Amino acid sequence: MNDLVIQNIKELVLPKKTDKPLKGKALDELEIVENGTVVVKDGKIVYAGPHTEEYEAEETIDATGKVVSPSLVDAHTHLIHGGSREHEMSLKRQGASYLEILEQGGGILSTVESTRKASEDELFEKAEHDLLTMIHHGVLAVESKSGYGLDKENELKQLKVSNRLAEKYNLDMRHTFLGPHAVPKDAESNEAFLEEMINLLPEVKEYADFADIFCETGVFSIEESKRYMQEAKKHGFDVKIHADEIDPLGGLGLAIDEDAISADHLVASSDEDKKKLKDSETVAVLLPGTTFYLGKEEYADARGMLENDGAIAIATDYNPGSCVTNNLQMVMAIAALKLKLSPNEIWNAVTVNAAKAINVDAGTINEGDKANIVLWNAPNHEFVTYKYGVNHVDKVIKDGKVIVDRDLSLK
């Protein structure tokens, strides 16, 4: 006897199981099954496809009028942080740029101060609330970065909180050491601080899967970023990079040269570097919610990357300064409007490709996969990327068990 059957599914979304990220035109290939059925046993998918009544189960869910998909993957978040920065909104309204706010002691450095002051338990409680919000919006795999400590004690504190959350909720979480996220006020020099972060790599390896660096004007140069990435790889890290967010320094090209698992942001990446994506498995993780929140007109060139047969994913970049939403559905809508991506491309970008960007077994619901599933209050898969700013989730199923059931009736 199976544990669960989901029947009468209006549309069943089935991203392709693949060993490598989907690239170029393949990102627009998505199997949509009308009147579908999903069968679950022992937390695994037994069947996902056209309607069948061959399977019996202890529990049946009627998904009439609903979309069913794999749970979502958020491949870039700054989940663990202290404080908030709503006071910076007035500076933004006056036209202050991200780097100008940083120079005034705001931005990342303001969050560093709040994070350092917060205890591990305080950070845990705050991040837990944010993580649960993400789960309620259909996300069951998350990448969580440090980077608001900028010293040994507080970087480790963030990573320990991230690991505690993963253990408590048994989630597919990946943890990223982003020690070189900014240069603290009291640093002797960029070079000295970078050396301090490099020396931390052996110790943080116990708590982190990836090593990341912010390669940008006023932060770390291409040469500094290259040195950090090469040292991180020596210690067994897969590497990531915050690249070309504001200025076209060549961070995407560096990521490709260093076989980074992902390069993130990429708003200002050069045409030359985008062409290199064709021969690379590096995933370009695009963060349109950040561009939207910062009020910028120029978004990452998703279409150009795909035309060069690149692999892209979409993520929130949830953080307290430049993208304060942890609603990946909202970012999916922005990707449709501003990155000019099709619904199929977006679904693949927040499932199978996002999973590849953080090396997690997620994003598909084929036979043998984890039964991590979302039921959507939507008549078709395009509707989720069309109606923005609301939560379309009906149910979230983790390992075959319903963990979120959004009854929209009034009590």
Residue ranges of the annotated binding site for Fe(3+) are: 76, 78, 242, 317
Q: Which residues are annotated as a binding site?
A: 76, 78, 85, 148, 181, 242, 245, 317, 319, 321-322
Amino acid, single-letter form, for residue 338: K
**Coil, helix or strand at residue 124:** helix
Q: Which residues are annotated as a binding site for N-formimidoyl-L-glutamate?
A: 148, 319, 321
Task: Supply 355's token pair.
Answer: 């999973």
Task: Answer yes or no: are the C-beta atoms of 291 and 267 closer than 8 Å.
Answer: yes
Q: Which residues are annotated as a binding site for Zn(2+)?
A: 76, 78, 242, 317
User: Residue 193: which residues within 8 A CB-CB, separation 6 or more?
Assistant: 150, 180, 183, 184, 187
Inter-CA distances, 67 with 20, 121, 142, 253, 384, Å:
26, 38, 22, 39, 9
User: Residue 59: which residues within 8 A CB-CB, separation 6 or more?
Assistant: 3, 4, 5
**Coil, helix or strand at residue 280:** coil
User: What's the CA gap between 9 and 34, in Å, rounded?
Assistant: 7
Maximum separation of any 2 CA atoms in the chain, in Å? 69
Q: Which residues are annotated as a binding site for 4-imidazolone-5-propanoate?
A: 85, 148, 181, 245, 322
User: Residue 45: which residues within 8 A CB-CB, separation 6 or more?
Assistant: 38, 39, 365, 366, 367, 368, 369, 370, 371
Closest CA to 347 of 76, 97, 51, 14: 14
Q: CA torsion, points 384, 386, 389, 390, in degrees to nearest 10?
A: -40
Q: Which helix (H) or strand (E) holds 284?
A: strand 283-286
At CA 370, angle to CA 358 and CA 174, rounded to 5?
25
User: What's the CA gap between 317 and 71, in Å, rounded?
Assistant: 18
